[in-house]
Amino acid sequence: MDFGLTEDQRMMQEMAKDFAQKEILPTMKDDEANHRFRPELVKKMAGLSFFGCGLPEEYGGNGFGFLESVILAEQFAKVSASWRLPFNMQNIGPSITVNKFGTAEQKKRFIPKWVSAEHFGFFAITEPNSGSDVVSMRTNATDRGDHWEINGQKMWISNAHIGDWGLLYAVTDRAAGYKGLTCFIINLKNNPGIITAPIETKLGLHCAPTGEISFNSAKIPKDSVLGEVGQGFQICMWQLNNTRISCAAGAIGIAGGAIEAAIGYANERTQFGKKIGSYQMIQAQIADMVAEHEAAKLLVYRAAWLKDQGLPNQHETSMAKLFASESAVHCALDTMKIFGSYGFSTEYPAERFLRDAQSLRVVEGTSNIQKTIIAGISLGDAVNR
């Protein structure tokens, strides 16, 4: 076993850290307060080849894999979890999924433009009454001969109102159950049957655009299908097993940022004539946070490494996502406690870490869903893929 990063990985880590410190941090308070998304930053990230992980060089790949994407996303989330989202929207979500299931023409047409951020990506799964139960989704696609007609609504979709091309999951055969879902590559712009709107009533991730998409007899081309008709559930589960590792990366980033803030404050704040870091209860909190965080990192890095080796990893990915997201909430909460009254103030980062961490218990499969997956594989009721 080798627990050290390679020279190239350390270089990417430093690049991401430097970018986050110089491009995101200076305006972060104002951006957070105004729910401001800055598209130019995504393009700058693309210019540094941050979105090429796990992809062939002919489509803009950078020669790296999931582990490197985790390392990059972690550094961004340390500063702002909102800016971890582009790694899923441009790389781990649409690009890697199309690279797996798409035709040669689809790969050539779409992947390079997601990697370069010429097009902003998305993937639309969740609906008003359908979240973890993917098969119960109501959005449907009807074959009209020369085109597909889409009707329905998607909710809580990252990049919904700013997205260009991305993935849509819809029902094509209600009677077929999970075999009746199909994945489509669609364009949200310039289609009179598609209406998008932002959702800004969010607890956290204020700089990450989130919205809803309504389809009203929307026409899309017959060649929009990704993979085969009826293969959507398989594609969706495969994709989610990948995008979860990016969520886990965001979780260890949030926890790492929270711990750094807690340690910095504990070394500066004094009470009763001594810095608060000298008191045993504060030390116990920090010790628990650090140990838990290191364990989470090992789980996340291992799951990413297994993906890069082409080895079964669903079990490990769900463990990483579950443990890292719950750990992020714990670390953020204890950071808020260490900050005391200042932890309750928007002038300090503790409250933002806690708000942003909560999202990771929900997205890409709730903590309960991860437990179901872990238990199912552990008990032998499902196969680790």
Does 1 fall in a domain? no
Per-residue pLDDT tens for 183-233? 999 999 999 999 999 998 999 999 999 999 999 999 999 999 999 999 999
How much is the mean pLDDT over the chain?
Answer: 97
Closest C-alpha among 369, 248, 256 to residue 306: 248
Q: By the 8 A CB rule, do 139 and 127 touch? A: yes
The verdict on 266 and 339 lying in the same domain is yes
What pLDDT score does 130 carry?
Answer: 87
The verdict on 207 and 247 lying in the same domain is no
N-term to C-term CA, the chain:
22
Does 328 fall in a domain? yes
Closest C-alpha among 362, 364, 354, 367 to residue 254: 354
Q: What percentage of the chain reaches a pLDDT higher than 90? A: 97
Closest C-alpha among 76, 73, 71, 72 to residue 23: 76
Check the CA dihedral 300-301-302-304 and report its sign: positive
Given pLDDT bands bounded at 50, 70 and 90, which one contains residue 116? Answer: very high
For residues 268 and 278, what is the distance between their CA atoms, to the nearest angstrom? 11
Q: What is the CATH number of the domain that holds 259?
A: 1.20.140.10
Q: What is the CATH number of the domain that holds 52?
A: 1.10.540.10
What pLDDT score does 144 carry?
Answer: 97
Final residue in a domain of this structure, among 176, 197, 230 = 230
DSSP string, 146-205: SEEEEEEEEEEEETTTT--EEEEEEES-GGGGGGGEEEEEEE-SS-TTEEEEE----SS-
pLDDT of residue 237 exceeding 90, the answer is: yes
Does 68 fall in a domain? yes
Query: How is residue 318 written in tokens?
Result: 């769900």
The verdict on 351 and 280 lying in the same domain is yes
The verdict on 105 and 34 lying in the same domain is yes
To which H or E segment does residue 215 belong? strand 210-221
Three-state secondary structure call for residue 347 = coil
- The total of structural domains in the chain comes to 3
Final residue in a domain of this structure, among 92, 115, 138 = 115
Per the listing, tokens 């340390």 go with 78
Those residues with Cβ within 8 angstroms of residue 351's Cβ, 6 or more apart along the chain or in another chain:
336, 343, 344, 345
Q: By the 8 A CB rule, do 355 and 343 touch? A: no
Q: Mean pLDDT throughout 20-33?
A: 96
The verdict on 247 and 374 lying in the same domain is yes
What pLDDT score does 332 carry?
Answer: 98
The verdict on 102 and 210 lying in the same domain is no
Q: Mean pLDDT throughout 51-76?
A: 98
The verdict on 73 and 130 lying in the same domain is no
Those residues with Cβ within 8 angstroms of residue 327's Cβ, 6 or more apart along the chain or in another chain:
251, 252, 255, 292, 293, 295, 296
The verdict on 346 and 274 lying in the same domain is yes
The verdict on 299 and 365 lying in the same domain is yes
- Residue 33 CA: distances (Å) to CA of 29, 36, 199, 208, 251: 6, 8, 15, 12, 22
- Residue 113 CA: distances (Å) to CA of 47, 116, 276: 12, 5, 51
For residues 380 and 223, what is the distance between their CA atoms, to the nearest angstrom? 39
The verdict on 28 and 142 lying in the same domain is no
Q: Mean pLDDT throughout 105-131?
A: 96
Calculate Rg over the CA atoms of the chain.
Answer: 21
pLDDT of residue 2 exceeding 90, the answer is: no
DSSP string, 99-147: HHH--HHHHHHHHHHHHTTSS---EE--BTTBSS-GGG---EEEE-SSE
- Residue 212: domain span: 123-230
- Alpha-carbon 97 to chain mean position: 14
The verdict on 218 and 280 lying in the same domain is no
Dihedral of the alpha carbons of 347, 352, 354, 355, in degrees to the nearest 10: 130
For residues 31 and 79, what is the distance between their CA atoms, to the nearest angstrom? 13
What pLDDT score does 131 carry?
Answer: 82
Check the CA dihedral 29-34-37-40 and report its sign: negative
Side-chain-side CA neighbours of 250 within 13 Å: the count stands at 29
364 catalytic residue (yes or no): yes
What pLDDT score does 1 carry?
Answer: 77
DSSP 8-class letter at 361: T
Closest C-alpha among 121, 165, 169, 167 to residue 141: 169
Given pLDDT bands bounded at 50, 70 and 90, which one contains residue 133? Answer: confident
Final residue in a domain of this structure, among 214, 230, 246 = 230
Q: What is the CATH number of the domain that holds 168?
A: 2.40.110.10
The verdict on 361 and 239 lying in the same domain is yes
Does 384 fall in a domain? no
For residues 381 and 123, what is the distance between their CA atoms, to the nearest angstrom? 29
Does 158 fall in a domain? yes
Q: What percentage of the chain reaches a pLDDT higher than 70? A: 100
Does 383 fall in a domain? no
pLDDT of residue 376 exceeding 90, the answer is: yes
Per-residue pLDDT tens for 288-297? 999 999 999 9
DSSP 8-class letter at 21: I
What pLDDT score does 42 carry?
Answer: 98
Does 2 fall in a domain? no
Per-residue pLDDT tens for 330-349? 999 999 999 999 999 999 99
What pLDDT score does 67 carry?
Answer: 98
Does 168 fall in a domain? yes
Given pLDDT bands bounded at 50, 70 and 90, which one contains residue 353? Answer: very high
